[in-house]
Structure 1
Amino acid sequence: MSMTVDNVMTREVAPVSAATSFKDVATALVSGGVGAAPVLDGDRHVIGMISEADLLHKEQFREQHFGESYRPPPRSLLRHRASRRKASGETAADLMTSPPITITAGKSAVDAARLMDAHDVNQLAVVDYNGRLVGIVSRRDLVRLFLRGDEQIAADVRDDILRRALWMDTSGVQVKVSEGIVTLYGRMDRRSETALAIRATGRVNGVVGVVGELSWERDDVTPASARRGARS
């Protein structure tokens, strides 16, 4: 139902060591067709990450901040210092961002997306419980989840949500999917159950949105006094 990092991550990674030269890091990124490379110690522990942006600091600093008269705004001073340090870097140890932002393979794809957003990064090193590299996951890997076909999404909703995840009678519920938008229609026993079905469907990978066209036999959400007032 909910994909994990293990389902979407890239296992063929081009790691580098702290002593790897600037040009060899660039070669690893270009030849590997990746946007970032993990930096490993001798035991394959991830000690940092180097992205394409880290390498580009050298050229950006040369173009924008070379003159001695340049004074960065106070709010960007720390970022400027980090850029200047990386611009003069010659090895992976100089270029990398450390400590790295990592995630384990068993975490959900949603957890990975939230972690990337919180730290404003495009890739995460995937590690085992000892901190050793097992892969890398990128925003592009997560976006691919939305490329799942409508038929596959509909099958997941029927099998994983309606038949397995929800401990209630869903025999009266039908599913239709178009361009990733799921429509649930039919009838359920309780109004609260329809809300659960809609929320659970929204967690299926590839779902863009959920439209609920469900009715119910019993309204267990609206207070009885309000229902009486509506009838009078």
Structure 2
Amino acid sequence: MDGTPTVNDVMTRTVVAVRPDVVFKDIVKTMKEWRVSALPVLDGGGHVVGVVSEADLLPKEEYREGDLGRHGQAHLADVRKADAVTVEDLMTAPAVTVQPGATLAHAARLMARNRVKRLPVVGDDGTLKGIVSRSDLLKVFLRDDEDIAEEVRREVVVRLFGTGLVPVGVEVCDGVVTLAGRVDDTRLVPLALLLTRTVPGVVDVRSALTGPRRHPDLDPDLPEEDQPGPERTASA
């Protein structure tokens, strides 16, 4: 998986959806049959117009006794859903959707911001292409460590530091990348860490990068490598 992964790489393409006129019991049956907790709602043209979820159905049970006084005015929307019998009256609309080319980070932000567990994936015309869930977004972290290491070497190390006589080493363990070695320009280290974090599957990045060796004969004013310099005290 080279490059930045997108929703298209991880989404589920086989999706069950419902029409606005589907009745309550058929919604429940469909969810049970397909083992899903939410369904996209499509109009006659296949465009996503909303989403109906278990959360939209639960008020039917929660307000079975019609006890408004105990719940207060803040829950009137749920009370209305308790009286609803079709998808059109139950669904949450408009639906929060994402396009196939969106990054996984963008999809994750949409889910967090809107407090949803899944997003219908739509094309430019608004028609349903698939669905992406929280678990789909986590698939990228199943990537093999060696695959991650190879991409870091190719896309980060070689591009920034070249091959060199003593190349920068890349080790990956459970998605955690460690960069080690000497580099001529330490100003590139923060960029290397930043770019490594963007590689699909990377969980964390650690640096053991150091600058070039010092040569006391060429730089007499600099202390020799591994020799302690003059003691410094912190000042206010």
Question: Normalised by the shorter chain, which TM-score bucket?
Answer: 0.7 to 0.9
The AA in structure 1 aligned to 2:138 is V
Give deviations 1:54-89, integer Å, cap 9, x for gaps.
Answer: 222222333xx73243143x7xx1xx1221122222
Evaluate the alpha carbon distance shift between residue 29 and residue 162 of structure 1 in structure 2; reply closer, same or farther with a 3 A threshold. farther
Which structure has greater helix proportion?
Answer: 1
Q: Output the amino acid matched with 1:169.
A: G
Q: Determine the C-alpha separation between the residues in 2 that align with 1:184 and 1:144.
A: 24
User: Runs ≥4 in structure 1, deviation > 6 angstroms?
Assistant: none
- Could you list the runs of 5+ residues in structure 1 that have no partner in the other structure? 219-226
2:63 is paired with a residue whose SS is helix
Structure 2 regions of 5+ residues with no counterpart? 214-221, 223-228
Q: Which residue of 2 aligns with 1:222?
A: none
The structure richer in strand per residue is 1
Q: Aligned partners of 1:5, 1:100: CA distance in 2, in Å? A: 17
Aligned residue for 2:70, secondary structure, equals: coil
Identity %: 43
Distance change (3 Å), C-alpha of 1:201 and 1:133: same
Alpha-carbon distance change, 89 to 54 in structure 1, aligned in 2, over 3 angstroms: same
1:144 aligns with 2:146: no
> Could you tell me which amino acid in structure 2 is paired with residue 153 of structure 1?
I
Pair 1:2-2:1 in alignment:
no
Q: 2:35 aligns with which of 33, 36, 57?
A: 33
- SS in structure 2 at match of 1:117: helix
Deviation track 1:185-214 (CA, whole Å, cap 9, x = no partner) reads 112221221111111111122221110111
Q: CA 1:188/1:61 → structure 2, altered by over 3 Å: closer, same or farther?
A: farther
Rounded to whole Å, the distance in 2 between the matches of 1:34 and 1:216 is 54
Aligned residues: 213
Backbone CA RMSD of aligned residues = 2.3
1:209 aligned residue (204, 211, 217) = 204
- The reply on whether 1:91 has 2:86 as its aligned counterpart is yes
**Distance in 2 between residues matched to 1:115 and 1:18, nearest whole Å:** 24
- Partner residue of 1:54? 56
Tell me the SS of whatever aligns to 1:104: coil
Flag the structure with larger Rg: 2
Cα distance in 2 between the residues matched to 1:93 and 1:13: 19
Tell me the distance in 1 between the aligned counterparts of 2:114 and 2:138. 18
